[in-house]
Amino acid sequence: MTNKLKSIAYQPPGQFEETRYEKIHNVIFDNSVDGSKIVANEIATLIKAKQQQNELCVLGLATGSSPIKVYEELVRQHKEEGLSFENVVTFNLDEYYPMAPESIHSYHYFMHQHLFNHIDIKPENIHIPNGKIPKSKLIEYCIDYDRQITAYGGLDFQLLGIGRTGHIGFNEPGSHINSGTRFITLDPLTRSDAAPGFLGIDNVPRAAITMGIKTILQSKRIVLLAWGNAKAPIIKRTIEGPMTSEVPATYLQKHPNTTFVLDEEASMDLTRIKTPWLVKDCQWHNDLIKKSVVWLSEQTGKSILKLTEKDYNAHGMSGLMAQEGDPYDINIRVFNQIQHTITGWPGGKPHADDTSRPEREKPYKKRVLIFSPHPDDDVISMGGTLDRLVQQGHEVHVVYQTSGSIAVSDEQALKYANVILQYEPDNQDLKKIIRDLQTKEKPYEDTLPVRNLKATIRRQEAVSALKYLNVPLSQIHFLNMPFYETGAIKKKPLSPADVDLVQNIITKVKPHQIFAAGDLADPHGTHKVCLDAILKSVDQLKTEDFMKHCRVWLYRGAWHEWDVPQIDMAVPMSPDQVLRKRKAVFYHETQKDGVMFQGNDPREFWVRAEDRNHQTAEKYHRLGLADYEAIEAFKRYHF
């Protein structure tokens, strides 16, 4: 389905093969980089067309994580291709209230940092709601914001993100379709999503000024961006659900020229992606059959082997019956496929027939390379499997890709610094670190010595956890990939130096198995960059002899989990093994109790990971497979 969409990539609404479930034109890209480039191109084309006609181009702009890559591409086109913004006028969607424009939390700051400081837009053409307007003048100020947009002839193009509440701009649930720019109280979910950036929910403003729904709907063209699986449920409700003030983004169903630009993860819950057999006739291939049978089992509450022809027909799968015939054959085939993913021998079982096992028997003692983006993803996501691999005699290497220093709080760093100071009262370097920490101006920006201390703390935590799991010190590697070492949340793009580090360690260890994080929902995108470096390295090394015998397995777990049909290897854990894994995670003390980067899930990492491992086991059991305490899941990456 996605491939087909790619070929019609960005046709305007109207020319799109809509499904009966969808009320908004949307296109799906493999990833946010490709999607962002297309959107940036549309904006650039519009700006240039207006230039040729000597007209102003009036853009409505959004902040947040979604549009960042669009702005990066526009800046690149300005710097490298001479795209000029001299004829551009911008109106931003919103600003927190109260909020000083100079604050690093302001949308004013965001827009300058990501776009305005790097292009030739005239400062007088930039409009961002002012979070410092006195309350007594707010109503007048908001009316005037809309008046200014109208005076420019309205917005030519409006860029939007979407909140998990279904907000566009800060039009939270309850917003009226006729609303203009106004003061609004933020939804608790929106505030909790913003909390990591503000060092806790208590610091997040309770209100904002937002452009209204009516103002947005008057734009001539609207493009909404959504990336990542956290947006999947709200994207489905917005595109397929009824138009309702409970999900203000559904008002976009009324707009004749709106496109949603999605990545695969954000589109995951759309009916035509999740259950295409409900939408149209399908080409039934093996993966789709597996996916649909698992779905059918979940829908009916029956285990796979109990599914009947009636169940298939009643759930839009008669086409599969027509193609494959006997439902019982399908049931057995899918059941066996899932059964064969289960193994207590993640490195292969010695002296066993391995024709239908996820891993080869030989060589029995394998060299295993486990990549961990941060120092803790290894044990959080595959602690049970790591433990087994060591116990079963494999040579397990763990490679920490980034230092993870930014996620150590200042309080933790000060605690350690003060402990050392008790023993070394004259240590001037340490005193400087303490001074730096106590006098720091920007919350997430650390000096190099402070970063080093924080990195050392995380390194020690990782070493202690692996010592507990009996991994020798000589098999623990810290890459400190340079893209991460900015001292701030914003990271540098992946560089050849990063890829070289990864490639070198692969070449040195010559692994039979590589485990890597395929978990792309982390809040700052670090896992994605780390995976890109591994996949690039693997691609560059694929002709090497040792790589021909290497299998790559992707784990998830810190942020989300593979769905059952995606799993190629399921490693069960006993209750005791779950406890060992928990203890290993506990060694990462700085990442326990009120961690700095919690993401959307308020639970601690070990609770989330355990919960996901239990859930996978329960799902297997409900399908009719054995009843395990917990399961860690892996998907094979074919290169």
Contacts of 586 (CB under 8 A, 6+ apart): 592, 606
Of 162 and 434, the one with the shorter C-beta distance to ligand F6R is 162
d(CA 201, CA 123): 33
Q: How far is the CB of 171 from ligand F6R (least distance, A)?
A: 8
Q: Name the segment binding ligand F6R (CB under 6 A); options: 168-176, 237-245, 282-290, 613-621.
A: 168-176
Q: How far is the CB of 233 from ligand F6R (least distance, A)?
A: 14
Of 63 and 343, the one with the shorter C-beta distance to ligand F6R is 63
Of 316 and 525, the one with the shorter C-beta distance to ligand F6R is 525
Give the start-end residues of each E strand in 62-133: 88-92, 94-97, 126-127
Tokens of 27: 């296109």
Q: Which of residues 81-140 bind ligand F6R (CB under 6 A)?
A: 93-94
Q: How far is the CB of 334 from ligand F6R (least distance, A)?
A: 36
Q: Name the segment binding ligand F6R (CB under 6 A); options: 56-64, 113-121, 175-183, 281-289.
A: 56-64
Q: How far is the CB of 227 from ligand F6R (least distance, A)?
A: 8
d(CA 173, CA 178): 14
Of 88 and 379, the one with the shorter C-beta distance to ligand F6R is 88
Q: Name the segment binding ligand F6R (CB under 6 A); options: 157-165, 413-421, 570-578, 616-624.
A: 157-165
- SS3 percent helix, strand, coil of the chain, rounded to 5, is 45, 15, 40
Contacts of 4 (CB under 8 A, 6+ apart): none
**258 forms bridges with which residues in the sheet?**
222
> Are the CB atoms for 623 and 304 separated by under 8 Å?
yes
Of 111 and 430, the one with the shorter C-beta distance to ligand F6R is 111
Q: What angle is formed at CA 294 by the lines to CA 522 and CA 345, rounded to 5 degrees?
A: 70
CA–CA distances in Å: residue 24 to residues 19, 249, 260, 342, 460: 10, 11, 7, 41, 51
Distance of CA 335 to the CA centre of its chain: 31
What is the DSSP pairing of strand 367-372 with strand 26-29? unpaired
Contact residue for ligand F6R among 167, 459, 551, 560 (CB under 6 A):
167
Q: Residue with the closest Cβ to ligand F6R? A: 161
Note if 395 is an active site residue: no
Q: Which of residues 61-90 bind ligand F6R (CB under 6 A)?
A: 62-66
What is the DSSP pairing of strand 551-555 with strand 630-637? antiparallel
Question: Tokens 């080093």 map to which residue?
Answer: 452
Q: Which of residues 578-637 bind ligand F6R (CB under 6 A)?
A: none
Q: How far is the CB of 582 from ligand F6R (least distance, A)?
A: 31
> Are the CB atoms for 25 and 15 separated by under 8 Å?
no
Contact residue for ligand F6R among 88, 142, 168, 266 (CB under 6 A):
168
Of the candidates 95, 172, 265, 561, the residue annotated as catalytic is 172
Tokens of 290: 């597996």
> Are the CB atoms for 530 and 377 separated by under 8 Å?
no
Question: Tokens 């086109």 map to which residue?
Answer: 77
Of 35 and 163, the one with the shorter C-beta distance to ligand F6R is 163
Of 132 and 333, the one with the shorter C-beta distance to ligand F6R is 132
Q: Name the segment binding ligand F6R (CB under 6 A); options: 59-67, 293-301, 443-451, 513-521.
A: 59-67
* 170 sits near ligand F6R (criterion: CB under 6 A): yes
Neighbours of 580 (CB within 10 A): 17
Nearest to 372 by CA among 397, 400, 405: 400
Binding track, positions 16-55, relative to ligand F6R; x by CB under 6 A: ----------------------------------------
Q: Which of residues 234-263 bind ligand F6R (CB under 6 A)?
A: none
List residues near ligand F6R by CB under 6 A: 62-66, 93-94, 161-163, 167-170
Catalytic residues: 172
